Structure 1
Amino acid sequence: MTAPHRPRTFGILNDLLAFVLEVFALLTLALWGYRPGGGLIGGVLLGTAAAAAAALLWGAFAAPKARYEVPLPAVLAVKAVVFGAAALALAGLGLRPQACWFAVIVLVNTALVTYYRSRGSRA
């Protein structure tokens, strides 16, 4: 008897949601860093640096085709840092309920993606 596989549609939708959450996290960090009237450093550079740092960290360790292969706990730690920073950025922007919802959705999605990828059931 073989292990049950997740339906193909579920896998595609869950992976798509993971991608959307990753992009949303980067945009949130950029928006948080940008301060209207903050000048070049307090505005554009901080927003760009926050998003770029998260993108570089993600691409190096947490992306499906990451530059460096690290153990699963390290991947999850990077995801926690990036998504946690995005949730805190949302809260810092005065969007506390949205920050909570974002964190819950990220937690469920990451748990599902991690579970299915660790099972090797990429249907």
Structure 2
Amino acid sequence: MWKWTNLLLAFLVELVALGIFAWWGSQATDNTALRIVLAVGLPVVAAVIWGLYAAPTAKRGTPVVRTVVKVLVFGLAGAALWSLGHPVLGVVFVVVVAANLLIIHVQKLSPDTPQRNVSE
């Protein structure tokens, strides 16, 4: 259950990062047209890059590229929160993401625990 909880959290922080990009884009300028373009475009660009290089099913990139993309996407999302006037939320977001990614990485390195036979 712990593994699935962490994977769910990973998915949720990915969605939150896209929301942060949309929020930042909607506040980035006074030009209404540019605000709409940024609010829609930034999350789309981030999602495409994520899908190509960082998603679990991504066919492109190496483990190093996957890590760099994750650091950039989550780091920029944290920086966007900071620039929106929410530095504490930005730091909390990045710390939660880092802890989640570390836990997932450690879980991948550890051998699976043996399953107990239900009939025992």
CA 1:117 to 1:46, structure 2 compared with 1: closer, same or farther past 3 Å? same
| Aligned counterparts, 1:1-123, within 5 A | 9-35=1-27, 37-41=30-34, 43-68=35-60, 70-119=61-110, 121=112
Runs of 5+ consecutive residues of structure 1 not aligned to the other structure:
1-8
Higher relative contact order structure (alpha carbons within 8 Å, sequence separation ≥ 6): 1
Contact kept in structure 2, 1:59 and 1:67, CA below 8 Å: no
CA distance in structure 2 between the aligned counterparts of 1:118 and 1:38, rounded to whole angstroms: 48
Deviations 1:54-100 (A, max 9, x none): 101100010011142x3222111100000011001100110100001
Measure how far apart 1:53 and its partner are.
1.2
**Counterpart amino acid of 2:86?**
L
Measure how far apart 1:121 and its partner are.
4.3
CA distance in structure 2 between the aligned counterparts of 1:39 and 1:72, rounded to whole angstroms: 39
CA 1:72 to 1:39, structure 2 compared with 1: closer, same or farther past 3 Å? same
Aligned length: 113
CA 1:119 to 1:66, structure 2 compared with 1: closer, same or farther past 3 Å? farther
Measure how far apart 1:45 and its partner are.
0.2
Identity %: 30
CA distance in structure 2 between the aligned counterparts of 1:12 and 1:94, rounded to whole angstroms: 33
Larger Rg: 2
Computed over aligned residues only, the root mean square deviation of the Cα atoms, in angstroms, reads 2.0
Contact kept in structure 2, 1:30 and 1:48, CA below 8 Å: yes
- Which consecutive segments of 4 or more residues in structure 1 shift more than 4 A? 118-123
* TM-score between both structures, scaled by the size of structure 1: 0.83
